[in-house]
Chain A
Amino acid sequence: MTEAAGAWPRWLSQLQQVAGAFADPLSASHPLVILPLNIAAFWLGLKFYRRVGTPLLHPVVGGSLLVFAGLWLMDVDFPGYQRGSGLLYLLLGPSVVALAIPLKQNLAMVRRAGWPMMLGLLVGAIAAPLVAVVIAALLGGSRTVIIALTTKSVTTPVALALAQELHGIQSLAAGVVAFTGIVGAVFGPGLLRLLGIADERVMGLSLGINAHAIGTVRALEISALCAAFSALAMGLCGALTALLLPLFVG
């Protein structure tokens, strides 16, 4: 449950914290060190990914490993790193809101594909976390693990917002989302070939439902149509999960 305190003051205090971190004396965990580290790691990770071109080395994998190596070399702990990255945390909310634009642009497709697609999306949005949660529960996973798995198939910014809402571990949620996306993007298309499904719309929707943004990048390699359906599924599934999940977990 969110505290009843106003959203504005909380946001302002967050902004103040970010500004405060900049005013700190220069150290290894100063934003002026941490932000360039983040940007360099992201840029190198992206470059590497483009050269290799496999979802296995998605920039989130390369980038996070590079940051981790940098932190280890500079002997910075995670709280210090988080404080230094405050500016990026501030952008998480607006980046969720920005998902509305591709969603609006693809909305015409929803009308064309109609209710069967919406039904499929709804079932998919429920099945993707449910199957994983059941498997983890059977193997005796703890509550922390179960909570992290409930957001496994939604796009990271939404998963992070949900993790906060459900008092899960944000970092674990982010890791689970990245790993799930990679599994879906690497094996999904082959799996559908095995099942004899060739419809690019179905492929796109399945990638978007199960593998969010990483799946959508994979869909782009298949066709523009596939990617459009994937982006649509990702957006709608994210919204559906965010609306439904808090009702079930709590």
Chain B
Amino acid sequence: MARLKKFLHWLLGAALLLVFDLAGRSLGAALSLPVPGPVLGMLLLMLALMLYGRVPTGLATVSEQILRLLVLIFLPASVGVYFVRDLSGGDWLALVAAMVLGTLISFALTAALLNRLIAHRTAHGAGDGQHD
């Protein structure tokens, strides 16, 4: 009995993910927003969870499972990179340089900025003890 209940909770969680995915897509299409539908679905779900106050157990289980399988889910898209043929040598060079240098530069920039912003705040003792 407990197993059945657990399964039903899981099913409900899976259904919620699907419903919010479709809701996001529908909303995006209806308002012709340029934002990807699933991202709208994610924001809608977050809003709903904030209003609801907690995360239903089934939804937490399903999302944990799906996030653990994320690499498998986008494996087909990743494999495609070996089939990309319409880039020139110069394109590849620009791409790799931008990824390596760009990531190191933006990493250092964001860290330095965040360090200044957060350290400054902590130094002023702004731990204002807010809670959820």
Interface residues of A (CB under 8 A from B): 1-8, 10-11, 38-39, 41-42, 45-46, 58-60, 63-64, 67-68, 71, 78, 81-82, 85, 88-89, 91-105, 107-108, 111-114, 116-117, 119-120, 123-124, 127-128, 130-136, 139-142, 144-145, 148-149, 152-153, 156-158, 160-162, 164-165, 169-176, 178-180, 183-184, 187-188, 191-192, 195, 197, 199, 201-203, 205-206, 209-211, 213, 238-239, 242-243, 246-247, 250
Q: Which residues of B contact A175 (CB under 8 A)?
A: 78, 80-81, 84
Contact A170 B118 (CB under 8 A): no
CB-nearest residue of chain B to A164: B36
From A99, A174, A206, contact of B114 by CB (8 A): A206
Query: How many angstroms between the C-alpha atoms of A170 and B84 in the bound complex?
Result: 10
| Cβ distance B55 to chain A, nearest Cβ, rounded Å | 6
Contact A127 B106 (CB under 8 A): yes
From B18, B69, B114, contact of A205 by CB (8 A): B114
**Given A4-B29, A98-B17, A157-B38, also A195-B112 (CB < 8 A):** yes
Question: Is B77 an interface residue, CB under 8 A from the partner?
Answer: yes
From A38, A134, A142, contact of B76 by CB (8 A): A38
**Given A131-B105, A156-B74, also A97-B21 (CB < 8 A):** yes
Please name the 9 residue pairs, one residue from A and one from B, whose CB atoms are nearest each other, closest first. A171-B80, A132-B102, A175-B81, A141-B94, A246-B34, A7-B25, A161-B36, A116-B117, A96-B38
CB-nearest residue of chain A to B88: A142
Contact B37 A2 (CB under 8 A): yes
| Cβ distance A163 to chain B, nearest Cβ, rounded Å | 9
**Given A91-B66, A128-B110, also A242-B36 (CB < 8 A):** yes
Query: How many angstroms between the C-alpha atoms of A96 and B95 in the bound complex?
Result: 26
Query: How many angstroms between the C-alpha atoms of A71 and B76 in the bound complex?
Result: 12
| Cβ distance A177 to chain B, nearest Cβ, rounded Å | 9
**Given A99-B67, A149-B98, also A63-B49 (CB < 8 A):** no
| Cβ distance A212 to chain B, nearest Cβ, rounded Å | 11
Question: Is B73 an interface residue, CB under 8 A from the partner?
Answer: yes
Contact A131 B110 (CB under 8 A): no
Q: Which residues of A contact B1 (CB under 8 A)?
A: none
Known: A107-B132, A162-B36. 18 other contacts (CB 8 A): A60-B78, A68-B82, A98-B17, A98-B42, A99-B67, A101-B55, A103-B46, A104-B55, A117-B114, A120-B110, A130-B106, A132-B106, A139-B90, A176-B95, A183-B104, A202-B114, A205-B114, A210-B107
Query: How many angstroms between the C-alpha atoms of A203 and B108 in the bound complex?
Result: 10
CB-nearest residue of chain B to A112: B130
Q: Which residues of A contact B39 (CB under 8 A)?
A: 96, 158, 161, 238-239, 242-243
Contact B86 A120 (CB under 8 A): no
Contact B17 A41 (CB under 8 A): no
